[in-house]
Amino acid sequence: MKRLMPLLIVLASTLAVTAAFAQGAPSKGLALTPPMGWNTWNKFGCNVSEDLVKGAADAMVSSGMKDAGYQYIVIDDCWQVKRDEHANIVPDPQRFPNGIKAVADYVHSKGLKFGIYSDAGTKTCAGRPAGLGHEYQDALMYASWGVDYLKYDWCNTLPGQDAKASYRNIRQALDASGRPIVLSICEWGGRQPWLWGEEVGGNLWRTTGDIQDHWAGHHKWPDGSCCSNGVLDIVDQNEPLYSAAGPGHWNDPDMLEVGNGGMTNTEYRAHLSLWAIMAAPLIAGNDIRSMSPEIREILTNKEVIAVDQDPLGQQGRRVWKDGDLEVWSKQLQDGSRAVLLLNRGSSQATVTATWEQIGYPAHLSASVRDLWAHKDLGKSSGKFSAPVESHGVVVVTVKP
């Protein structure tokens, strides 16, 4: 019987694929705006548990994050310890004593969605059992647990393994499970997933290396290995790829570091604002159970989040730069523009956005609203100027 199990799984999977695609793939229509949620990795690494995930679900509701649009609670690496005699993936019994389905059920009971992590190679980045050769079997297991979101990494892959084919395979496996599951392609940009991610059914794809909690510059990881990227480095890698993004398929410049302590609140406001103007997924990575009121206010700014979640789905881009000063613009569904003034420099400076830069006639009169001050600034003609503090942003909407 043990020898028959893999064959039976393949046969069942093949039948499921045929049925799923005859009915239309379950993944159609997912992530029409950039996914919003929380992930364990940036703050907790491998220190994951049932209690942590349930506590995060509670906090997402009580903090106002759910009300602001966050919905996915995602367990990253290290939840899994082995495969059983039937090659089924096994959660850590000490950390998840009631299994993953019980955790997913709890998350769902809060009106939230549940996500999990695996990898396209032989082992995950932390050396745990990964998905290569078990894609359909794992997808059926994830569906039975109630998984809504899968982050699929690219560690420990085989020499010559084809990323496009690997991610197409896991998408087909997820669809064959019959459950709508968002696919987060965590291939860190080396194989240019923005060129093929939509084609293979990815809903978001990493465009950069891993983020770390710094404003700028490359920093070594605590174990001495090299290197992660500061916020500005990641912004500069992600910005030119704006044409690849749209409803259902997003450029992913990695998760948020807001609230993890390595930057100032001014820098965290800029971090969230830049992700919003780039229509990036907003996946918080701090301890949302114990965040300060200031960090909560940053993460739950509904006006800035609305820029990210605008249904037109256009990724904003840099339209002017002079040294450390920049203007960014994002067209919104109602024809207005979200405009971000960025000051990368070490002292306050005035930044001006002209209407021509953001795609309007110079003579136009338009209403301006400051999204961090939550204040209407009246009408402006031709341009808008504001003082911007060091490492800060001013974010406005400009509406004719």
210 is known as an active-site residue: yes
Cβ contacts of residue 287 below 8 Å, gap of 6+?
Answer: 43, 44, 259
Asked whether 35 and 203 are in contact (CB, 8 A), the reply is: yes
Residues 48, 52, 54: CA angle, nearest 5 degrees:
130
Environment class of residue 69 by beta-carbon count within 10 Å: exposed (0-12), middle (13-18) or buried (19+)?
A: middle
Among candidate residues 76, 153, 254, 310, the one labeled active-site is 153
Encoded tokens for 44: 């907790």
The DSSP code for 208 is S
Percent composition of the chain: helix, strand, coil (DSSP 3-state, to 5): 30, 25, 45
Q: Does the annotation count 77 as an active-site position?
A: no
At 142 the three-state DSSP class reads: helix
Catalytic residue among 58, 210, 236, 324: 210
Burial category of 180 from C-beta neighbours within 10 Å (exposed 0-12, middle 13-18, buried 19 and up): middle
User: Which positions are annotated as active-site residues?
Assistant: 153, 210
